[in-house]
A and B are shown apart, each in its own frame.
Chain A
Amino acid sequence: DTGVSQDPRHKITKRGQNVTFRCDPISEHNRLYWYRQTLGQGPEFLTYFQNEAQLEKSRLLSDRFSAERPKGSFSTLEIQRTEQGDSAMYLCASSLRGTMSYNEQFFGPGTRLTVL
């Protein structure tokens, strides 16, 4: 399977705990995005990486959220001191800059977070 993969697919945690999600983009893709999706809503942009550089971050992203892409390949999204409002589907997407289809993002299956 050469698509975008995310791990874990499901995470249940207690309020106040830290969680970390991983995204493996399509191997040659240099653009990586994180989104959050809640019920009845579309994906909401969280942050964007071009290679290892985090170039844009949503103002909605609180200080409890941090993302990294250390070698320009996989990425991690960490949420510290989780709150019940963090319960959502977290989606990762990748695309390839420099091609005509650079705006076409390929999404992973998502990680569903439930905060009890």
Chain B
Amino acid sequence: DQQVKQNSPSLSVQEGRISILNCDYTNSMFDYFLWYKKYPAEGPTFLISISSIKDKNEDGRFTVFLNKSAKHLSLHIVPSQPGDSAVYFCAATATSGTYKYIFGTGTRLKVLA
């Protein structure tokens, strides 16, 4: 049972435009969500996170939106840059009762110059 789903395996965006990456989850116990970026031959790198007490968190060009009723989160990158081309993973955890983080399958973003 895939508790965290990223239904778009890939996304192409023109440089300077907005990239929107989506993530859905099924477990209502999840209360903390993270996005990671991964380049080839490297481990994932933390990008941004959001607690379930918020519906938006912003850090520079990156904004994460959380819609708890829809069990949906999205990562917005504005403006997109060629260096943003990577695989993006969303992850979720329930901060009480477990230390486990559940990752989605990833979305490969390609930003075209």
Contacts and interface: CB of A to CB of B under 8 A. Distances in A.
Interface of A: 4, 31, 33, 35, 40-45, 48, 50, 55-56, 58, 91, 93, 103-110
A26 to B, nearest CB: 12
Contacts of A109: 41-43
Interface in B41-64: 41-46, 49
B101 A45 contact: yes
B113 to A, nearest CB: 27
Interface residues of B, number: 24
A103 B100 contact: no
Most buried by B among A43, A44, A91, A105: A43
A42 B89 contact: yes
B49 A105 contact: no
B105 A42 contact: yes
Given A42-B89, A43-B89, A104-B49, A58 B43 contact: no
Contacts of A4: 43
A42 B103 contact: yes
Given A41-B105, A42-B106, A103 B49 contact: yes
19 contacts: A4-B43, A35-B103, A42-B91, A43-B89, A43-B91, A45-B100, A45-B101, A48-B99, A56-B99, A56-B100, A103-B32, A103-B34, A104-B34, A104-B46, A104-B49, A105-B101, A106-B46, A108-B43, A109-B41
